[in-house]
Structure 1
Amino acid sequence: MGLLTDTGSSWSLTWQTPNITASWTSFGEDSNGELYAVGGNTVYKITDPNLNVTEEQLERFKLFPNPSNNKITIHFNAHLATVQSLSIINSIGQQVKKISTLSTENITIATKTYAAGLYFVEITDNTGVKYIKKFIVN
């Protein structure tokens, strides 16, 4: 496509033949470690949405053991009145279990019949906010 050369104070781009006039996409990192994507004459800054999540939100619930062999236990740190539902979702997006009525701080779910792989616990609170953690079944 082309050759990018450092000229000391700037960069020079020399197109190689045949000259490609189609759009191109690239990724880059600046001197501060910020990530960028370039495409279609636009520069996009890549940000991590998890940086806006508070510690309290991350610790809304815990699950253990992870990885799981026969069962997982989910412990709620938040008041149960704020939890609307709990779902277990497999790696292809299928809901394999849903619990709508939660009455205890600890819920144990048998996983011995689940196929080995990656799963997600999705907690939905009474305002519709979802909290998701992943776990592995061996």
Structure 2
Amino acid sequence: MAPNHGLSDSTSLSFWAKPDSSVAYYLTATDSAGCSATGAPVYFVTVKPVSINDQEIGQLVNLYPNPSTDQITTCFNVKKLEIKIIEFYNNKGQVIHRLRTNEETIKLNTTVLSKGLNFYKIYTSEELLGHGKFIVK
């Protein structure tokens, strides 16, 4: 991998890094005679690839109405993945309701949720699929 992999300017003290994989950057000094020395890593950049969680949750899950009053409906457009757990959180980050399901559509009475801003996380059998937020009036 090139020493300036993902750097905006490898000769500047004010640079930004945008590598496509995790990398350690080293400082190499070269004198006027052409002699160079490389030290220990100066910067480490860890890259986590964008996954279905970050990118497509809006296309995979439809939660409505938002805001809601009596009931929310959650529709999953996910046939290839098994939904296992949906967790609902209040605005303090506390789990207030948890569902286990493999259904494509779920209706939930909002009395089990907090008034105001709520959050949800959806897990498959193997990973966090995504998260979102909604309001209960």
How high is the TM-score relative to the length of structure 1?
Answer: 0.55
C-alpha separation in 2, matches of 1:115 and 1:126: 27
Give 3-state SS (helix, strand or coil) of 1:92's partner.
coil
Distance 1:44 1:88, change over 3 A: farther
C-alpha separation in 2, matches of 1:92 and 1:113: 16
CA contact (8 A) 1:91 1:118 kept: yes
For structure 1, the 5+ residue unaligned runs are 1-41, 46-51
Distance 1:64 1:43, change over 3 A: same
Higher strand proportion:
1
Calculate percent identity across the aligned residue pairs: 27
TM superposition outliers: structure 1 runs of 4+ over 6 Å: 42-45
How many residues get paired?
90
Structure 1 residue 112: Cα displacement: 3.2
Structure 1 residue 133: Cα displacement: 1.1
How high is the TM-score relative to the length of structure 2?
Answer: 0.56
Give 3-state SS (helix, strand or coil) of 2:68's partner.
coil
RMSD between aligned residues: 2.5
Structure 1 residue 103: Cα displacement: 3.5
C-alpha separation in 2, matches of 1:97 and 1:128: 19
Alignment-derived partner of residue 120 in structure 1: 119
Name whichever of 90-99 and 109-118 sits farther off: 109-118
For structure 2, the 5+ residue unaligned runs are 1-13, 18-49
Alignment-derived partner of residue 87 in structure 2: 87
Alignment-derived partner of residue 54 in structure 1: 55
